[in-house]
Structure 1
Amino acid sequence: MSPQTVAVLDDLLAANVRYAEAFDAGHLPREPARRLVVITCMDARINPAAALGLRPGDAHVLRNAGGRVSDDVIRSLVVSTGLLGVTTVIVMHHTGCGMAAISKRDVQAVLSDISEEHWEAFDLLAIEDQHQALREDVDAVLQSRLLPPLQVTGLIYDVATGRVQQML
């Protein structure tokens, strides 16, 4: 590991010691208290718990590039809804998303040593139109044959103001 990586890891492990000393959430059940899943972007500027007033134990939070409803998100929703009592899903995209600024071609150019064969099956799920992408993701949850009927809402989080707006 590089010296920088070692320093970061040391900081994280020290922070965990402090966290564990005050930890009092070991009693929380696996089932989210609000019967809620939030799907959002991995963007480091977004703190979904703080933005939505969630506390530990309230919700499952699923994060990926763009906050898109991928096959893996559906897999997690199957577990959340089928085994852990979730009935409500919030899909929360955000302004200034990096997935709106890149294309599959951009990624291929950077990772040029990966064969074309591997790229064919890869769906970047880039965002060309934010509202359209949000609609597609909400619809993907609503139309999945693997999921029970759910309450699904689409939100846009503004990274400049911290406010969310219900779009769907």
Structure 2
Amino acid sequence: MDRRLDVMTLFDLQPGDAYVIRNAGGILTDDVRRSLAIAQHALGVEQVVLVHHTDCGMSRLDDEDFVARLARRTGVRPTWEPGGFRNVADDVRAALRELAADPHVPGGAAARGFVYDVGDGTLTEVTADTAP
């Protein structure tokens, strides 16, 4: 979701080259999984790539605190979890493992994950089995 990350330029893509799904923290929500399943089963998408980034606001978000504050402000506790995390590379690894286990996303088993450094513009590949 971060505006500092231009996925099209980063991967040298042209309009029409890729479907891009963006959300806060790159969280594998039910809707993201639904969109990936549709992309793969109905639209012919074969490859899945996850890109998270450094200096992500979600890495500083405490889920319970956020939910409590939101409930106080609105009077209603959300039914969803925010998905805060502490380490961006670890979060990518966990997401890759989740995708590999998802029977509705066949490309999940071969998905690739990356961390984009917003400071210097580098892209580092992260695999599900690399140590933190």
Q: Spell out, residue by residue over 1:121-166, the C-alpha distance to the aligned partner (whole angstroms, 9 max, x if none).
A: 3211111222221111111211112222442001000101112111
Task: Output aligned runs, 1:12-161, within 5 Å.
Answer: 42-111=1-70, 112-115=72-75, 118-119=77-78, 121-150=79-108, 151-161=110-120
Cα shift readout 1:102-134 (whole Å, capped 9, x = no counterpart):
112342354213446x34x32111112222211
Q: What is aligned with 1:13?
A: none
Matched-pair identity in %: 32
2-structure distance, mates of 1:109, 1:123: 11
Seen in structure 2, the aligned counterparts of structure 1 residues 108 and 123 have a Cα distance that, compared at 3 Å, is: closer
* Cα offset, 1:87, TM superposition: 1.1
Q: Does the aligned pair in 2 maintain the 1:91–1:154 contact within 8 Å?
A: yes
Per-residue deviation at 1:77?
0.3
Gaps of 5+ in 1: 1-41
User: One-letter code of the match for 2:73?
Assistant: D
Partner of 1:35: none
Structure 2 portions without partners, runs of 5+: 128-132
Q: Deviations over 1:55-100 (max 9, x none)?
A: 1011000000011211111010011000111111111111100000
CA–CA distance in 2 between the matches of 1:65 and 1:145?
A: 24
- Aligned twin of 1:38: none
Root mean square deviation, CA, Å: 1.7
Aligned-partner SS, 2:48: strand
Runs of 4+ in structure 1 displaced over 6 angstroms?
A: none
Please say if residues 51 and 163 of structure 1, whose CA atoms lie closer than 8 Å, have aligned partners that are also in contact.
Answer: no
- How does the TM-score come out when normalised to structure 2? 0.85
Does the residue aligned with 1:137 lie in a helix, a strand or coil? helix
Contact 1:93 1:155 in 2 (8 A): yes
Higher percent of residues as strand: 1
